[in-house]
Amino acid sequence: MSIYSKIYLSLSLYYSYFEDYKSNEMSKLYYFNYVAINGKELLDNEYLKLNKDILYNHGKKSIMDMDLENVMISDSKCIQIGTKLLKKYFEQEEINLKYNINQKLSNIVTEIFTDEGLNDDLLNKHIENFISRDIFHGLTFVSIEGLCKKECSLIDLGYEKIEIPLLEGYKLRMAYSNVYKYIFENIYTHNKEYIKQNIINLIISYIKSIPIYHDSITKLYNLDKLKAELLKSENKELIFVEFYIEDLFAFNKKYNYDKTNILFKEYASKINDIVNIYRLTGPKLGFMLDVTSDYKAIIEKIKKIKISYNEDIVKPNLIFSVSWGNKNNIIEKSAHCMSLAQDSIEKYYEFK
């Protein structure tokens, strides 16, 4: 990489020979990019001549701008002036760079609180982009353990890996090629705490912005998730099947509360393998279907599900209600339909 990044120095030298403002700024920018990636170590040995020529040209240009070209000024003084000029440029460019990165972080925070479509993987992608591209110049692979759900494995062969603990359940994982070890370590040393603190802030903002969409016992999506999905859905007719586990409270007395929760979770998991269900309230579960679906076949499959506990085979007694409606009324219609189903002899009711 140092060989390729030498191109930055070569371009910096090339533009330093021109007197116009644009070329002068381009020369400074290429020089800054080289140092940001490689540090200054090679400038004092391997690229000493190249570096001195760049500094001399910038110093000479500054002297010409002050109409002092007829004054006898040594080459070493020109280099000294060029060094000071580029030092000031570096300080301002560091401020600009941090400002741009902070602006991107601010945009991510805004998206966290305004974009309902943002999820764990998208946030992971945003973080990956700003770390890999904006800080490490594309030299790293990045993922956040705890956010990343897809394509999270980092490249193994020929790559070094590091992990930075963030919050409980979250880690920053980075991989970089051994070829870029010196460059990576140079950038990492200067930015580690900055990166860590900003990612922690993003994750905290994200966690605070997320409604609790999972039921703590069954790990199913809950009623809040159902309402959120209905809100985003098209306003078309749909079917909602709700079912009530009649003997859940009796199980609490027979097996105790903790064991019943284990049974309930296992039972819900088996149903969820058939159709995606929601934990509503208490012993109530439910699922959405489009109007062309064979809801009766799904209900029959659910009725056949059994779970075992020790030597007991448990087959819960269920009450079913089937409602037709749209996203604006289906929850209310289902609640009414379930009350009718509970009062019916068949323990089943359909409401259109």
- List the chain pLDDT tens, one digit each, 352 residues: 555 578 889 999 999 999 899 999 999 999 988 888 888 888 888 889 999 999 999 988 888 888 776 667 888 888 899 899 999 998 898 888 888 888 888 888 888 777 766 778 888 888 888 888 888 888 888 888 888 766 666 666 668 888 899 988 889 988 888 777 888 888 888 888 988 998 999 888 888 877 678 888 888 889 988 998 898 888 899 999 999 999 888 887 888 888 888 888 999 999 999 999 999 999 999 999 999 999 999 999 999 998 887 777 888 899 999 999 999 999 999 999 999 999 999 999 999 8
Q: Which residue reads 């509503």 in tokens?
A: 280
Alpha-carbon span 345 to 267, nearest angstrom? 25
* CA neighbor of 50 nearest in space, from 88, 17, 90, 91: 17
Alpha-carbon span 268 to 246, nearest angstrom? 14
- pLDDT at residue 156, rounded to an integer: 62
Tell me if residue 316 falls in helix, strand or coil: coil
Report whether 205 contacts 127 (CB < 8 A). Answer: no
* CA neighbor of 276 nearest in space, from 262, 293, 259: 293
Tell me if residue 164 falls in helix, strand or coil: strand
**How far, CA to CA in Å, does 346 sit from each of 185, 304, 319, 350?**
71, 17, 8, 11
Q: Which residue reads 């040995």 in tokens?
A: 45
**Run of H or E residues at 301:** helix 295-303
Map out the domains of the chain with their CATH numbers: 2-94 (no CATH), 115-209 (no CATH), 221-351 (3.30.70.270)
Let me know if 312 is exposed, middle or buried by CB neighbors in 10 A (0-12, 13-18, 19+).
exposed
Interacting residues of 96 by C-beta distance below 8 A, sequence separation 6+: none
- pLDDT at residue 149, rounded to an integer: 67
- pLDDT at residue 102, rounded to an integer: 84
**Run of H or E residues at 7:** helix 2-16
Tell me if residue 192 falls in helix, strand or coil: helix
Alpha-carbon span 144 to 207, nearest angstrom? 14
On whether the pTM is more than 0.75, the answer is no
- pLDDT at residue 155, rounded to an integer: 60
Amino acid identity, position 198: N
Structure tokens at 193: 């705490």
Report whether 263 contacts 309 (CB < 8 A). Answer: yes
* CA neighbor of 251 nearest in space, from 317, 328, 206: 317
Amino acid identity, position 249: F
Strand 278-279 to 221-222 pairing: parallel
Structure tokens at 51: 């570096």
